[in-house]
Chain A
Amino acid sequence: MKASATIIETSALRRTFKGKNKGRGRGPSPEVEAVAGVDLRVEAGEIFGFLGPNGAGKTTTLRILSTLLAPTSGTARVAGFDVARQPGEVRRRIGYVAQSGGSYRESTGREELVIQGRLFGMGKAESARRAEEILAALDLTEAADRTCGTYSGGMRRRLNIGIGMVHQPELLFLDEPTTGLDPQARARMWDEIRKLRESGTTVFLTTHYLEEADALCDRLAIIDHGRIVAEGSPGELKRQIAGDVVTVGVNGQGDKVVKLLQAQPFVREACLEDGLVRLYVDRGEEAVPNVLRLLDRNGLAPSTMNLHRPSLDDVFLKKTGRSLRESAA
């Protein structure tokens, strides 16, 4: 695998669309700013997530980065080339899997893989061999000669990703790879995406699922109204918020416990609420054993202990004032 290198870099990326002037007025139609100045940096070898509600500008950004849409202003370099000036070079190095799929229901899985390889300049035999390889890797060998229309949702998504992988791109764009999949197929898809990272492929995906961004992505950017509102690893982002909350049940000895824990450097704040001690800490996973040891040493026995970690939704809420769960619904 290559040493860490920047594979996507955008600067002040903007894209506006002419709004539909639905009124009867004669005025100029208003411009809609779908992407409003996005600065992004994605390193080679990571799974980078683009999280945001529907209509936030995720897909538009993705379409710019994959040469399907020209930016209105700003620049984007992908796999070492400028998307607007050298789209051909970019296309040779990336794979792109749209939300709408890409495989045709009346073609067979094998046919789709073979023609994709040949469109990238592979010979007949080479393309057939590569198709075989991908079918095996994605567990689609048995379905290879059936038309895609007969595939299950999960199979079809896997095939679509396979089509994007035929030419072994350095970077793969996945637009909402798990939307509409059942939990089992989603877990399977996550496994496939992790396998891609292991093989050295950088994956850039969009999602509006908090759990997916959290569980799957090494780093992510949260986008809302065409702007990036936060960027970092899921852990970093959540820590920026408020830290973790540890609650301890203490059987009437609350005041004593609060006093003891307040003095500790790792505790930001401690208070008593409804008979439970609430501790605000930076790293909950480290605080829990520390708290236990301290209480034990002082002859105090906790009855219950709970660790609440802020979710990415808390991050989204803080940055945008709205809950992503509500926006996505």
Chain B
Amino acid sequence: MRTTHDTWLIFERSLVLSLRNPVWVIMGIIQPVLYLLLFGPLLTNIARMPGFPPGGAFNVFVPGILVMTALFGAAFVGFGLCDEMREGVVERMLVTPTSRTAMLLGRSLRDIALLLAQALILIGLAIPFGLELNGGGILVSLAMLALIGLVMSPVSYMLALVLQTEDALAPTVNGMALPLLLLSGVMLPMSLAPDWLQTLSKLNPLYHAVAAIRSLFNANYGDSEIVFGVALLSVLAVVAVSLGARTFSRAAA
């Protein structure tokens, strides 16, 4: 009860602040839009190569771009927390009875809301390029993107609470996010990769998320990656949120 109430308060406050100064939100979408406009068209020819997964080029490419946006959008949210820590906002709230879970969850839900808004814009922009929509698949895909946010955003906040400064956070987050991105088959399908790289990428939860969302975009609902991806991300989200909430509690100890 207390947690729900506090989560809403923190969510509302965070969202208002993000919308007041939407630089990050806009920056977060410029990069994927550029990929969509300047890289996506290259794939139309590659899509004819053997080994390229079934579906139109954009139905393969857009799921990857969405996962990339979710990954990078959520991985860097800790920067905002560093800023709040420097101004004493976090400490001030730690000396109130506010639920520690809410301090994390309120912010993470804001991150997810922004991330879903970005996803919808990207999907809309991709339609003229030949993205074929199917309603149910998109909805489940958005849910998976939200789950990616619910894993990455708490991780980023945890790192921020531990590392304290942007200077320390930037290389850590980059070092974590880049391999996750490259091993997820976002840019080009991993089916084009040599065996060892394929094996390695299967250890990456995002690989399964990308595969699942591609199947969802192509109405290939029988793909076992979908159930596996949702289950895996759900488990990771529960772990990330619990650890993140604990880090907030420990921040006051």
Contacts and interface: CB of A to CB of B under 8 A. Distances in A.
Interface residues of B, number: 22
Contacts of A88: 97
B94 interface: yes
A102 to B, nearest CB: 4
Given A100-B88, A102-B89, A120 B95 contact: no
A283 to B, nearest CB: 42
Contacts of B89: 102-104
Given A100-B88, A102-B88, A119-B98, A107 B17 contact: yes
B48 to A, nearest CB: 50
A94 to B, nearest CB: 7
Nearest to B88: A100
A70 B88 contact: no
Given A107-B17, A119-B6, A98 B91 contact: yes
A106 B21 contact: yes
Interface stretch (A61-69, A208-216, A288-296, A298-306): A61-69
A67 B97 CA distance: 11
Contacts, number: 71
Given A106-B20, A115-B13, A118-B9, A100 B87 contact: yes
B252 A87 contact: yes
A101 B92 CA distance: 8
Chain A contact residues, majority secondary structure: mixed
A111 interface: yes
B87 A91 contact: no
Contact of A120 (B87, B91, B97, B253): B97
Interface string A159-193: 01001100000000000000000000000000000
A116 B253 CA distance: 21
Interface size class of A (residues with CB under 8 A): 20 to 34
A195 interface: no
Candidate in B17, B84, B88 with the most chain A CB atoms within 10 angstroms = B88
A66 B88 CA distance: 14
A115 B17 CA distance: 13
Given A69-B253, A70-B253, A98-B92, A121 B97 contact: yes
Nearest to A101: B88
A120 B92 CA distance: 12
Given A68-B94, A102-B88, 8 more contacts: A66-B95, A100-B86, A102-B87, A104-B17, A106-B20, A106-B21, A111-B16, A119-B98
Interface of B: 6, 9, 13, 16-17, 20-21, 84, 86-89, 91-98, 252-253
23 contacts: A67-B94, A67-B95, A69-B252, A91-B97, A92-B97, A94-B95, A95-B95, A96-B95, A98-B92, A99-B88, A100-B87, A102-B88, A102-B89, A103-B87, A104-B17, A104-B89, A106-B20, A106-B21, A115-B13, A116-B92, A119-B98, A120-B97, A121-B97
